[in-house]
Structure 1
Amino acid sequence: MTGTFGGALEARNIPADDGRLVGLAEGEVGLDGKTLVLQRIHVRFELQVDPDADRATIDRVHGFFADRCPVYRSIHPQIHCSTEVTLVEA
């Protein structure tokens, strides 16, 4: 998911390479009968930006990128996936 989000940002001239974009994922496991299954995944993106970064474009890309992400499309809706993005001024 990080690669798809980063690629979509880069396509809009928002730098996401060289460690500027990091994705931190957490999963929640539950029981389905007697079997452990992954039920939820939450990805927190941290993006280093310049003070004059186009935050509206970043928010817009964050709003649609998952629908174009192969990983997201492979696991959703069987596994609930959520994301958030935190901007860190460099």
Structure 2
Amino acid sequence: MTGTFGGALEARGIPAGEGRLSGHVTGEVEKDEGVLVIKRIHVVYELKADAEHDETIERVHGMHASKCPVYRTLSGCIDITTEVRRA
């Protein structure tokens, strides 16, 4: 998902490479009939970008998941959320 978000930023002229964007993932596991199952995943993107790009960053963040193969594969069975923080 980080790659899709970064690629979408780059396509709009917002640099995301060279350590400017990182993703940190937390998963929550529960037992389902005695089997451990991943139920929720939360991704925090840390982004170094100029404030002038805030509106574009929020717009890209709001749509990137629907274009991400990982999200589209897993979202039907795992609740996936994301947020952007300034690094």
TM superposition score category, shorter chain reference: over 0.9
Please state which structure has a larger fraction of its residues in helix: 2
1:38 paired with 2:38, answer yes
Deviation at 1:77, TM superposition (A): 2.0
RMSD: 0.8
Deviation at 1:6, TM superposition (A): 0.1
Deviation at 1:53, TM superposition (A): 3.1
- Structure 2, unmatched stretches of 5+, are none
1:42 maps to a residue whose letter is: H
TM-score, structure 1 length as denominator?
0.93
Seq. identity, %? 55
1:14 maps to a residue whose letter is: I
1:19 paired with 2:16, answer no
TM-score, structure 2 length as denominator?
0.96
- Measure, in 1, the Cα distance between the counterparts of 2:18 and 2:52: 17
Deviation at 1:49, TM superposition (A): 1.2
Moved over 2 A (4+): none
1:8-87 matches, cutoff 5 A: 8-50=8-50, 52-87=51-86
